[in-house]
Structure 1
């Protein structure tokens, strides 16, 4: 009702202006006020059609789902592959795990001695494995998938939790894994709670190793943490930034 009224008044003002004989006609203060009211109404009523929401629709985030050959339901998969990284006993090289695609475009053969990209393997046993996992995955290669979640603007891995905080959406949850404390350092990875092997091949070839880790209460505050417990993790996304 207000929109129709203002439109009518504005049209009337324009009609009066155009029909007036004087070329230098100036709008009165009341006429200008009506025009300003109309501009303000259009600006406030259509602000939801403008940038923030529409920009969000065209954005997205990527994350790696460690331990799985697929992405969560409703999430696009960029590619699937296998985990790679430097050999666990090498002093140099990168510390982060890599998600290597299954359809690589290989470079030329080289003879120099700096091989750093090895496959990743689970390191498990009956006494050292996350709850619910089978020791049969020991020495199996680790798969991974790069996932693209549309209409999200931020992604975050939270260690020590299996659920996201308010305003964040869970992509997947699992167990925090890394190299053994007696080896050289590597990255922490959130491995899916329902992790699977890359294939059925089984051979201890080492490489970039994935060990389950646990907490140690000393200067780590217990509570709220618990001594010698699995470290959970969750990958979360949000549009609220």
Structure 2
């Protein structure tokens, strides 16, 4: 039975009762039973329309914080580890960066040749690094964290901005990074503006590489963009 019809029936019953000419009119048993039934139905129907509070409080979203081994304030840590992915010059296989946990459960050794899970390194030469970053992070491995933000229903990475739009909460902001344009394609990743190395080891071992990006005017309209500028990014949730 649809809710508008039930509401109409209940209103009709109440109108008939209150408009009766006798002041001492008593409801019959059947009248009272119908009213009680309608009240119960309306109560239970409206309750079903609202999810229990426990379900709301347990909802949330996950996101990866690239370049950091911690989560933003207010977010819970799912796990932390290091960035992995396919070798920068491999033609086939996956193109996305992976956040590999620091406590893996390793499989059995295999001899076949299809290695696609390498580590990730920053590529930050003096002529190619975001403003404010140290060249000392060049060739260092990249940390990452998978974070859980409670009481959120959506998360989005916005390229070209460092602040979120109205109604959205900033989880972190930084620089948009990916593979070099001369290498094989890689996903774009928003790397934290306060990125850090995984550890103090220093070796040019390659793997899934992170290069800073810059804009190029032409098909990209300038303004509002500017030519050859760092590309900012922000991760937002609501």
Deviation at 1:54, TM superposition (A): 5.0
SS of structure 1 residue aligned to 2:31 = coil
Q: Is the 8 A contact 1:161 1:233 kept in 2?
A: yes
Q: Is the 8 A contact 1:70 1:145 kept in 2?
A: yes
Deviations 1:170-208 (A, max 9, x none): 100000000000000001000000000000000001110
Q: Partners in 1 of 2:31 and 2:91 — Cα distance?
A: 80
Deviation at 1:55, TM superposition (A): 3.2
TM-score, normalising length from structure 2? 0.82
Partner of 2:163: 163
Deviation at 1:58, TM superposition (A): 1.6
Aligned pair in 2 of structure 1 residues 220, 34: CA closer, same or farther (>3 Å)? same
- Root-mean-square deviation over aligned CA pairs: 2.9
SS of structure 2 residue aligned to 1:136 = helix
Partner of 1:78: 78
Partner of 2:127: 127
Deviations 1:105-159 (A, max 9, x none): 1011111111111100000011110011000000000000000101111110011
SS of structure 2 residue aligned to 1:27 = helix
Aligned pair in 2 of structure 1 residues 77, 34: CA closer, same or farther (>3 Å)? closer
TM-score, normalising length from structure 1? 0.81
Deviations 1:200-229 (A, max 9, x none): 000001110000000000110111111101
Q: Partners in 2 of 1:35 and 1:79 — Cα distance?
A: 52
SS of structure 2 residue aligned to 1:51 = coil
Q: Partners in 1 of 2:233 and 2:67 — Cα distance?
A: 13
SS of structure 2 residue aligned to 1:55 = helix
Q: Partners in 1 of 2:104 and 2:41 — Cα distance?
A: 56
Partner of 1:113: 113
Deviation at 1:34, TM superposition (A): 9.9
Deviates most, 55-64 or 77-86: 55-64
Aligned pair in 2 of structure 1 residues 38, 89: CA closer, same or farther (>3 Å)? closer
What aligned pairs does 1:82-93 form with structure 2 within 5 A after superposition?
A: 82-93=82-93
In structure 1, stretches of 5+ residues that fail to align are 1-5, 10-15
Matched, 1:96 2:96: yes
SS of structure 1 residue aligned to 2:55 = helix
Q: Partners in 2 of 1:173 and 1:52 — Cα distance?
A: 34
Q: Is the 8 A contact 1:56 1:152 kept in 2?
A: no
In structure 2, stretches of 5+ residues that fail to align are 1-13, 18-25
What aligned pairs does 1:60-75 form with structure 2 within 5 A after superposition?
A: 60-75=60-75
Q: Partners in 2 of 1:81 and 1:189 — Cα distance?
A: 16
Q: Partners in 2 of 1:79 and 1:68 — Cα distance?
A: 12
SS of structure 2 residue aligned to 1:218 = coil
1:27 to 24, 31, 48: 31
Deviation at 1:74, TM superposition (A): 1.6
After TM superposition, the runs of 4+ consecutive aligned structure 1 residues lying more than 2 A away are 25-28, 31-40, 46-50, 52-56
